[in-house]
């Protein structure tokens, strides 16, 4: 699509995440949200009015509109495969939010279809499009941090029960982020063990906290924490933090470096870094992938590996065991 004046975008799904993606598309030169479809037409009408775009009667109508070049799949996890296939078969490039699929097989099916159609299908791995993540990867790859000895990906943001109930628990909803971040920065772990708990929900039965310990190929250890149970109110809070420590240096990325004192969709504050990461991801998708034909920084192959890590976590929890990947 090199030289095309405008890249038309369509949203399948109009939940809270669509607000962030709309802002992101509006910041991309030569791109616009043409329209959206949502199962609830009340929400679809409201969002279409807010975004200044069309509300399609069906997802089929949306993907078959020649004005749309790329489709963002922003629906619940259980429908990602259905709508991703619908868009790819219509010849549209796709950005599919994470978690990408319910199983490895689902993501493999997406990849096979995207490859066959020669289309970009970008998994919503937004964190790695942050400049600090790219810098960390470069420092680690080039040996400037020395031998890597440990890595940490931490997430502690309280979610009310009615919000958490939209999601499949923190293992799939949040540890997916952790998994692709670790893959991008340091590669795949060779074994892991995990635990989870439900600490403060009254009716919702999925876990609100989970932790994972891993060993990397070079012997380094990595730690994940994902929690909806409580905010971290300490002096140096681990709201969202990514840290890599080596024998010759260390790096740190934190949400707390960019905070606005106003509600942020489901959060008590606005963590500007998250919106920024979505903007960076969407810009890369449109400018680098669609216009220039470049690969995403994190591919569906990476999404497959991340899903294998999540399923290994679930097996470890279920069997109370250490799982080799």
Mean pLDDT along residues 31-41:
96
Tens of pLDDT, residues 312-324: 999 999 999 999 9
Residue in 123, 95, 127 with CA at minimum distance from that of residue 108: 123
Over 90: is that where the pLDDT of 249 sits?
Answer: yes
How big is the chain by its Cα radius of gyration, in Å?
A: 19
Residues above pLDDT 70, as percent of the chain: 98
pLDDT at residue number 102? 96
Over 80: is that where the pLDDT of 257 sits?
Answer: yes
Residues 222, 194 contacting (CB under 8 angstroms) = no
7-123 maps to which CATH number?
A: 3.40.50.720
Mean pLDDT along residues 239-253:
97
Q: Where are the beta strands (DSSP E) in the chain?
A: 7-12, 31-37, 54-55, 70-73, 93-96, 121-123, 148-156, 189-197, 209-216, 221-227, 240-246, 249-254, 259-260, 270-271, 323-324
pLDDT at residue number 213? 98
Residues 6+ apart with CB under 8 A from 62: 10, 12, 35, 36, 37, 56, 68, 71
**DSSP of 101-116, one letter per residue?**
-SSHHHHHHHHHHHHH
Please report which confidence band the pLDDT of residue 1 belongs to, taking 50, 70 and 90 as the band edges. low
CB atoms inside a 10 Å sphere around CB 73: 24
Positive or negative: CA dihedral 294, 296, 297, 303? negative
CB atoms inside a 10 Å sphere around CB 261: 7
Over 90: is that where the pLDDT of 217 sits?
Answer: yes
Q: Specify the residue for token string 């279809």.
A: 113
Over 80: is that where the pLDDT of 264 sits?
Answer: no
Helix (H) or strand (E) holding 170: helix 170-173
Q: Give the CATH H-level superfamily of domain 128-277+307-324.
A: Dihydrodipicolinate Reductase; domain 2 (3.30.360.10)
Tens of pLDDT, residues 218-242: 999 999 999 999 999 999 999 999 9
The rounded Cα 150 to chain-centroid distance in angstroms is 23
Over 80: is that where the pLDDT of 203 sits?
Answer: yes
Over 80: is that where the pLDDT of 269 sits?
Answer: no
CB atoms inside a 10 Å sphere around CB 60: 12
Q: Specify the residue for token string 């799939």.
A: 172
3-state secondary structure of 26: helix
Give the dihedral of Cα atoms 108, 109, 115, 116; nearest 10 deg. 150
Between CA 141 and CA 145 the distance in angstroms is 9
Between CA 227 and CA 158 the distance in angstroms is 7
List the domain boundaries for the chain. 7-123, 128-277+307-324
pLDDT at residue number 302? 98
Token pair of 259 as six digits: 């905070």
Q: Specify the residue for token string 């616009």.
A: 32
Over 80: is that where the pLDDT of 2 sits?
Answer: no
Q: What does the DSSP 8-state code read for residue 28?
A: S
Please report which confidence band the pLDDT of residue 82 belongs to, taking 50, 70 and 90 as the band edges. very high
Residues 6+ apart with CB under 8 A from 58: 37
pLDDT at residue number 261? 83
Token pair of 271 as six digits: 């963590």
Over 90: is that where the pLDDT of 195 sits?
Answer: yes
pLDDT at residue number 276? 92
Residues 280, 158 contacting (CB under 8 angstroms) = no
Beta-bridge mates of residue 210: 196, 226
pTM: predicted TM-score of the whole model, two decimal places: 0.95
Please report which confidence band the pLDDT of residue 4 belongs to, taking 50, 70 and 90 as the band edges. low
């Amino acid at each position: 699509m090199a030289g095309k004046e405008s890249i038309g975008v369509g949203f399948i799904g109009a939940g809270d995440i669509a607000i962030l993606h709309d802002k992101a598309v509006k910041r991309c030169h030569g791109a616009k949200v043409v329209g959206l479809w949502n199962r609830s037409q009340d929400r679809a009408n409201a969002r279409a009015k807010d975004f200044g775009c069309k509300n399609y009667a069906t997802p089929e109508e949306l993907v078959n509109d020649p004005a749309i070049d790329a489709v963002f799949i922003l629906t619940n996890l259980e429908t990602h495969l259905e709508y991703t296939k619908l868009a790819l078969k219509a010849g549209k490039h796709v950005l599919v939010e994470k978690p990408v699929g319910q199983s490895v097989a689902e993501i493999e099916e997406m990849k096979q279809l995207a490859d066959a159609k020669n289309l970009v299908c970008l998994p919503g791995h937004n964190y790695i499009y942050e400049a600090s993540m790219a810098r960390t990867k470069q420092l680690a790859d080039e040996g400037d941090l020395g031998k890597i000895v440990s890595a940490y990906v931490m997430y502690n943001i309280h979610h009310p029960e009615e919000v958490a109930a939209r999601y499949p628990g923190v293992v799939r909803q949040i540890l997916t982020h952790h998994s692709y971040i670790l893959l991008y920065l340091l590669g795949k772990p060779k074994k892991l063990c995990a635990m989870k708990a439900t600490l403060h929900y009254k009716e919702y039965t999925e876990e609100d906290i989970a932790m994972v310990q891993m060993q990397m190929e070079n012997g380094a250890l990595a730690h994940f924490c994902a929690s909806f149970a409580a905010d971290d109110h300490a002096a140096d809070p681990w709201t969202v933090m990514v840290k890599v420590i080596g024998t010759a240096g260390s790096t740190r990325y934190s949400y707390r470096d960019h905070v606005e004192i106003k509600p942020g969709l489901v959060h008590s504050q606005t963590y500007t870094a998250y919106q920024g990461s979505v903007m960076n991801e969407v810009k890369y998708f449109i400018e680098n992938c669609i216009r220039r034909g470049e690969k995403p920084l994190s591919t569906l192959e990476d999404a497959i590996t991340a899903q294998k890590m999540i399923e290994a976590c679930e097996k470890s929890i279920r069997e109370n065991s250490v799982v080799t990947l």
